[in-house]
Amino acid sequence: MSFEEMLPYGWQGELPAEYAQTPWQVCRVSAEQRGLYELLTPQGAVSAQPSGALRHRGVLREDFPVVGDFVLADLSQGEAVIQAVLPRRTCLSRAQAYGTGRRGAVQLLAANFDTVLVAQALDGEISLNRLERYLAMTRQSGAQGVIVLTKADTAPYDDLLAQCAQLYPDTPALAVSARTGFGMDALSQWFAPGQTLVLTGPSGAGKSTLVNALSGAQVMKTGDVREADAQGRHTTTHRELLTLPTGAMVIDTPGIRALSLADAENEADELFADIAALAAQCRFSDCRHENEPGCAVRQALQDGTLDARRWKSYRDMLRQMGHQTARADLSFSRDRSRQGKERSRTARQNQRNKYGH
Ligand SMILES: Nc1nc2c(ncn2[C@@H]2O[C@H](COP(=O)(O)OP(=O)(O)OP(=O)(O)O)[C@@H](O)[C@H]2O)c(=O)[nH]1
Ligand SMILES: [Mg+2]
Ligand SMILES: [Zn+2]
């Protein structure tokens, strides 16, 4: 097999020494849905499943392939089998915060990209706080961030560009319009052959529209924004890696409901710090505070140190969040049940299962 064959797919690395003699093929994960993967191979796109061994070894979410990953796969049988995930050069992830005060799993969003485009639409309200959170996530990824103010045909952008330049001198910022083509030339400097980009930003920011404009085709479905508040409708539902005519690859992502979830969870943590502290004392790390032995929350409710109404409003808050995020979290929990393993579940997920809907 030839590693050069994978160069068009953004492959930059050397194969780690431990795989020097591998009979498996380097492939790139282009999509993932419910534990099923699509791989780009020199022979075209194939669907794949992780090997039993990979599933068995995989304990954390980050042990499993994510869109953008380079993997070693056995293509000799009928369905491709992913045998190993190669080391990631960059990785976009979201730490999941839990209302119980524990830190849990990390959710991976994409891997092995050179640039993160942070899209913010000019037609709605621009929140610098939100922008800052996307940029923080980008910094952690290890890749270069670029602020892309979209829908430049709808509103003035000079002031905002100046503000961005002042606040984030190391992060290029530009305004574009997929509709009129304005700014698209300037944007193309990040789309050289072999480059991989991730598009991130809120739902309705015009990420998929941008991908279509860059592709010169309707490769991604796009959706209206709500008239009232210019919020998107979460049209893109899973992450997908696409090859552009320029020879660059781009990972389109769903608008991150999850980011606002993390915000809400942090808020819950702060508002209910007392409950978080109690939950940390439960005997079981995944205590649902129902009738598990050694439950510090139940104990506190019993002896009156925790007010029952306060406990109820905490649960109500979780229920509301669970409702908002049930869809976003579905694929995550499905992936896990597919793996057929009930790994130590987080308190928050239990809370969601219990109180969601
Ligand atoms: N006026 C104008 N509208 C745009 C532009 N780009 C996108 N839109 C509109 O914005 C809406 C949302 O676009 P999408 O591309 O679906 O947004 P998205 O960021 O992919 O949203 P999610 O997939 O939900 O995360 C659509 O109605 C687009 O037609 C633009 O440059 N100008
Ligand atoms: Mg989209
Ligand atoms: Zn408990």
Closest ligand to the CA of 209:
1
pLDDT at 147: 98
Q: Give the burial string for 47-64 (b: 16+ CB within 10 Å, else e).
A: ebbbbeebbeebeebbeb
Does the Cβ of 222 fall within 6 Å of ligand 1?
yes
Separation of CA 121 and ligand 1 centre (Å): 8
Does the Cβ of 264 fall within 6 Å of ligand 1?
no
pLDDT at 70: 94
Q: Quickly name the fold that domain 91-255 has.
A: Rossmann fold (3.40.50)
Q: How far apart are CA 149 and CA 137, in angstroms?
A: 18
Q: Are strands 25-33 and 70-74 parallel, antiparallel or unpaired?
A: antiparallel
Q: Is the pLDDT of residue 318 over 90?
A: no
Q: Is the pLDDT of residue 290 over 50?
A: yes
Average pLDDT value for residue range 244-261: 77
Does the Cβ of 257 fall within 6 Å of ligand 1?
no
Q: How far apart are CA 275 and CA 322, in angstroms?
A: 18
- In sequence order, what DSSP letters do the residues of 248-261 get, joined into one string? -EEEE----HHHHH
CATH superfamily label, 3-85: Nucleic acid-binding proteins (2.40.50.140)
Residue nearest to atom 30 of ligand 1 (CA): 151
Nearest-5° Cα angle at 341, 336 to 346: 65
What tokens were used for 96? 């999941």
- What are the residues whose beta carbon lies below 5 Å from ligand 2 (ion)? 207-208, 235-236
pLDDT at 345: 37
Separation of CA 250 and ligand 1 centre (Å): 16
Does the Cβ of 179 fall within 6 Å of ligand 1?
yes
Closest Cα partner for 209 from 238, 174, 172, 184? 184
Residue nearest to atom 27 of ligand 1 (CA): 224
Segment 219-238, tens digit of pLDDT: 777 877 766 666 676 777 77
Q: Is 306 helix (H, G, I), strand (E, B) or coil?
A: coil
Closest ligand to the CA of 102:
3
Segment 98-145, tens digit of pLDDT: 433 334 446 788 999 999 999 999 998 888 878 888 888 898 899 999
> Probe ligand 1: pick from 222, 237, 256, max atoms within 8 Å of CB?
222
Closest ligand to the CA of 233:
1
Beta bridge mates, 25? 73
Separation of CA 338 and ligand 2 centre (Å): 26
Domain ranges of the chain: 3-85, 91-255, 272-355
pLDDT at 195: 94
Instruction: Indicate which atom in ligand 1 lies nearest the CA of residue 234.
Output: 24
- The pTM of the full predicted model, rounded to 2 decimals, is 0.72
Q: How far apart are CA 130 and CA 137, in angstroms?
A: 11
CATH, range 272-355: 1.10.40.50
The alpha carbon dihedral of 343, 347, 352, 355 has a sign of positive
pLDDT at 349: 46
pLDDT at 113: 97
Separation of CA 208 and ligand 1 centre (Å): 7
Residue nearest to atom 16 of ligand 1 (CA): 222
Separation of CA 111 and ligand 2 centre (Å): 18
